[in-house]
């Protein structure tokens, strides 16, 4: 784990314990993205399709995670602005951008559809191979995934999802830290391992490795962020 990630998680834990992020007692484990306790050891996409549409779930390595309640306004503002800049640039090009809720199935190999044990809903994805897009979302690794961290999802995004995206071959992974107004960028190296290629602040511009002619203006991304009193 990166040192900055560790500090973020410590801060998140402290704020939660002191009561800064209250949740309903009977939903605490789910809201904090603690693995759902069950007697069944491994869940699959086949199970996922049977679950209620009233709740959003992800499955990572066969373990189901109940996703957090609706994202905050500032989370939505950041996601929409990054998505807007991507969508504007991608008009008329082969790649497409999609925002959550959008299912991404990441098979281990050639297993049957219902046996896939990794199904996630990233905040934003860019897909350049249109054969991966079907009526259920995306099957296979997107070229770029962007996750906007919240205190309830930080551990999962920085650990379980980081490792999943790396081994699944997602070429580029961006982690957006709302409070710090920063973005960390990871790209797969020749050994198919993530290598951090930069940390960018609110005055910077980012050019995705997969779209080198595009510049994401972070000043526009963070300009309407709500600062808690």
Residue 179 within a domain: yes
CATH number at residue 176: 3.90.1570.10
Residue 204 within a domain: yes
Residue 227 within a domain: no
Residue 229 within a domain: no
Residue 152 within a domain: yes
Its domain, for residue 33, covers 3-222
pTM: 0.83
HSE-CB at 167 with a 13 A cutoff on CA atoms is 12
pLDDT higher than 60, residue 17 = no
Lowest mean pLDDT segment, chosen from 63-67, 75-79, 133-137: 63-67
Both structure tokens of 148: 């906007």
Q: What is the pLDDT of residue 111?
A: 94
pLDDT tens, residue by residue, 22-56: 332 333 344 334 455 555 688 999 999 998 877 88
pLDDT band at 154, cuts 50/70/90? confident
Residue 142 within a domain: yes
Residue 32 within a domain: yes
In the sheet that holds 182-188, the strands lie side by side as 96-99, 124-127, 144-148, 172-177, 182-188, 194-201
Residue 97 within a domain: yes
Looking at the DSSP assignment, which residues form a beta bridge with residue 206? 216
pLDDT higher than 80, residue 159 = yes
> What's the structural domain count of the chain?
1
């Amino acid at each position: 784990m990166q040192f900055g990630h560790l500090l973020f998680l410590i801060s998140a834990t402290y704020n939660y314990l002191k009561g800064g992020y209250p949740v309903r007692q009977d939903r605490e484990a789910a809201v904090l993205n603690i693995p759902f306790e069950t007697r069944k050891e491994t869940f699959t996409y086949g199970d996922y399709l049977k679950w209620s549409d009233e709740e959003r779930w992800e499955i990572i390595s066969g373990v189901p995670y109940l996703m957090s309640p609706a994202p905050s306004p500032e989370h939505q503002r950041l996601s929409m602005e990054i998505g807007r800049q991507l969508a504007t640039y991608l008009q008329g090009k082969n790649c497409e951008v999609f925002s959550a809720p959008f299912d991404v199935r990441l098979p281990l190999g050639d297993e049957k559809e219902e046996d896939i044990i990794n199904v996630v809903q990233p905040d934003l994805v860019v897909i350049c191979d249109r054969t991966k897009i079907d009526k259920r979302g995306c099957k296979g690794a997107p070229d770029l995934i962007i996750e906007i961290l919240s205190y309830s999802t930080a551990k999962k995004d920085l650990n379980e999802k980081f490792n999943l995206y790396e081994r699944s071959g997602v070429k580029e992974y961006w982690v957006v830290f709302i409070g710090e107004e920063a973005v960390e960028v990871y790209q797969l190296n020749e050994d198919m391992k993530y290598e951090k290629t930069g940390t960018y602040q609110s005055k910077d511009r980012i050019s995705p490795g997969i779209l080198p002619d595009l510049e994401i203006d972070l000043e526009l991304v963070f300009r309407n962020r709500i600062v808690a009193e």
